[in-house]
Structure 1
């Protein structure tokens, strides 16, 4: 399939209509544990759920949050909320009470749909006063009992459609505002450059609260294909699901790919795979070789993205062997510019900041004008699209052949196991325990994780008290934010400005010096 050169985006809920109208109504659309929905059934259920949800939350533009594992409700809510004129706020099921409370309060969600255990984990005051809490099973039962169908929406494609919360280098998670057009064109773009078709089956292993994870659904449905959602406990669960469902498309992040390549894959799991996609961290040359060895018949698509602009680049599979460390070139509907420190377009081989222009650029950060102004700025002079661009903070260079290469980041954000982690969140949690006076969270390069989370702290000298810190952090932070190592110090190194010297600490830990 080929992307339209000047596409006219539609309201997001039209994805259900499009797949069904293309003659794929009887084809599977969503394969759940307790049954299969074809595209016709998916279209009907989106209409019914939207009709019920619009009655429950009649205020247009109100936020509806979901906090649950992958299932019928969480998979359909992106389309359902769009049709009901509401804004979907998917919450990562790995998050814990403190992070969820922040997202609910910050977004001002009017409804939270979650599993019973997750609802019970919240304390009084964690949920906004006017936010209705509802168990996901009860929500489904109520919707199908009422059976109020809602016609396709007439929303402006530029209307706000979803808020995805993501961590940055400082502060609490911030909500990235995505329009119908952002999500629609993202689906069109990915379906196009991956060459997806109606007979494709995607195994959705990534969290649906990530733009990468949510696009597993949207791009597959745009192409008329089928999605198999999977919440796995062990890597072996992924290979078993591939064999069971004849998976053709598998998306993952580098740490998961490392684990998957260490498995003994049966032929029935490997043979159907047509494409592997990677984001959330760069592939190493060694990992590319391992993936080639395990999945020789599958095309490999290394990709780079940021939630503020969804996806920026991909590397053509034909170029992977000769350029395994490249980020590739811009995806359809994206314009990628490299701007040097003088504000000019960088020359070949010259380092500069990656600036993403075009219709995939998000609308900014929810209720945060300051941070929006820092990241969302006018496009550089000479941009084809103009308007607002995302200045990523990532340092890249473009070689003579047009391929982009990642150099580094300006900020201190940690990327571990495909998760973007704010050092400040970890530091604040450590200080809040009362055991720590100063804290610095750092990402130290790690072959399997991308970064290992190290926490350097100054505080109590009592070993018994120090032993309480890991337990306290387990209560307050999700598993992917837990420090792999904690270093206690009597004093922190300072830079000439009298601030903690994070660079010196990073260098010391990376070199393996003892504390």
Structure 2
């Protein structure tokens, strides 16, 4: 039986390798299957290699696909007393160079072909040099769980990427929290499709190990690769971002393969209600968790799967160890159904931005008086409402809200309606300057590749006219073949806007 609530005592991150049954599988990849005893041994050996090549507190960067070494590094760096800096493998050399310089990385671990793309200089090491065992493998670490364990760099869609500082306690408690509310069990098998440099991607791996379960890392090219991997590894748990779930909802799922999944979850943005309905029909036996989180606090909310059918537009309530408030601009708590900014307090809140006190001060501030947790809270920049039912619902990013003739409009509402029409698979609503209205709505939509464009356009326009108020009607609807996406697989709204307004 699942414990009533997870243990709130923080621990050093590398102790996750000691939570699973020793002979139970922990990692399945092209190299074979590693049990939890083997995971612990491999972490200890890799930590010994890192200790020989760096000093305590050094930042160890990795620029790798989901190889076995990439999966071991978060725990190995923690065991060696180093700070892990995972870099998304989709980033370009110039972006990688910025992160290396900003983090003052003492060592970069990558593949020879990738290392050859970077300017000479600095300590670079091919991952093969760390693949062997070590005679003096390090035991589990001791020390302060509040010490820095990782720097996760944001995607940098606006401005230069910034490194979010996460402690051992942040990562440990985040893993236990997610493992608890997803009800992960030792016999679960998680398909790790999200980048390990993305907070949700890292967390899905750590949470699986916290539960004593197994992960199967996957770098996929097309959604069909995900379907095949679910079958190949007998996967039971799958987490994705909304654009991936939209594609997976369109994919062909053999009935037996779909039936294997017992836990599915989405994060990194709101999943359109029409897609929620489709996933519930496609995976009727699976628990669907609608989650919300921000890198600066790892995870924040989740909707109980039992409530998804009745409230598919909600992001739920605070997860274990998180305290979530909805605040007015004056700092007071918003009333039920009143929009406000989501503010999170508690031990999951990160330590700020790496060596960036100015931007840290903008987002990380003393917790408001209404917060029970005290300490530091993070202001998300996201507008939400808490309904009379106690459930939170996402409205939109403050910097993405559209204002037409004085009416404040959530782009999410326009996008949801477009997808609900059945004519659009994905949609992005933007506010563009308009001399008469202040802003007008530009709606970009991606349809099915085989649909009649004129018929689809007519269906979409008729649906929007029937479902949305006059001031919410798009001034322009533009059909696109696809949307730019960031390295984490989410829609890159900055790139979409720049391309649309070019």
Q: Which of 64, 75, 82 is the equivalent residue of 1:86?
A: 82
Gaps in structure 2 of 5+ consecutive residues: 402-413, 420-424, 434-483
Are residue 12 (structure 1) and residue 8 (structure 2) matched? no
Change (3 A) 1:39 1:478: closer
> Which deviations, in whole Å up to 9, do the C-alpha atoms of 1:423-455 show, x marking residues without a partner?
xxxxxxxxxxxxxxxxxxxxx968555648999
Give the alignment's Cα RMSD to 1 decimal. Answer: 2.5
For 1:412 and 1:173, locate their aligned partners in 2 and report how far apart those are by CA, in whole Å: 19
Residue 303 of structure 1 corresponds to 291
Residue matched to 1:32: 29
Q: 1:230 aligns with which of 218, 221, 231?
A: 218
- Which position in structure 2 is the counterpart of 1:380? 368
Q: 1:2 Cα shift?
A: 2.6
Structure 2 counterparts to residues 336-355 of structure 1, below 5 A: 336-355=324-343
Native 8 Å contact 1:398 1:405 kept in 2: yes
Q: Which residue of 2 aligns with 1:149?
A: 137
Q: Quick one: which of 114, 124, 141 aligns to 1:133?
A: 124
Map of 1:113 onto structure 2:
109
Question: How far apart, CA to CA, are the structure 2 residues paired with 1:31 and 1:376?
Answer: 38
Asked if residue 41 in structure 1 is aligned to residue 38 in structure 2, the reply is yes
Distance apart, 1:137 and its partner CA: 1.6
Q: Are the counterparts in 1 of residues 6 and 180 from structure 2 also a CA contact under 8 Å? A: no
Match of 2:349 in 1: 361
Indicate whether 1:211 and 2:199 are aligned.
yes
Give the one of 93, 98, 106 matched to 1:97: 93
Q: Deviations over 1:305-337 (max 9, x none)?
A: 000000110001111111111111000000001
Q: Is the 8 A contact 1:454 1:484 kept in 2?
A: no
Checking the alignment, whether the CA contact within 8 Å between 2:6 and 2:176 is kept in structure 1 is no
* CA 1:177–1:478: 2 relative to 1, 3 Å: closer
Structure 1 unaligned regions, length at least 5: 414-443, 457-473, 488-505, 510-514
Q: Is the 1:27–1:38 contact (alpha carbons within 8 Å) kept by the matching residues of 2?
A: yes
Residue 25 of structure 1: how far off its partner (Å): 1.0
**Partner SS state of residue 247, structure 1:** coil
Q: Aligned to 1:311, what secondary structure does the other structure show?
A: coil
Say whether the 8 Å CA contact 2:155–2:161 is kept in structure 1: yes
**What TM-score results when the alignment is normalised by the length of structure 1?**
0.79
Return the TM-score normalized by structure 2.
0.81
| Displacement of 1:7 | 1.3
Q: In structure 2, how many angstroms separate the alpha carbons of the residues matched to 1:197 and 1:400? A: 33
Does the 8 A contact of 2:384 with 2:393 survive in 1?
yes
Distance 1:241 1:209, change over 3 A: same
Aligned-pair CA distance for 1:412: 5.1
Q: Which runs of 4+ in 1 moved over 4 A?
A: 3-6, 444-456, 477-487
Contact 1:310 1:360 in 2 (8 A): yes
8 A contact 2:58–2:82 mirrored in 1: yes
- Measured in 1, the distance between the counterparts of 2:112 and 2:154 equals 25
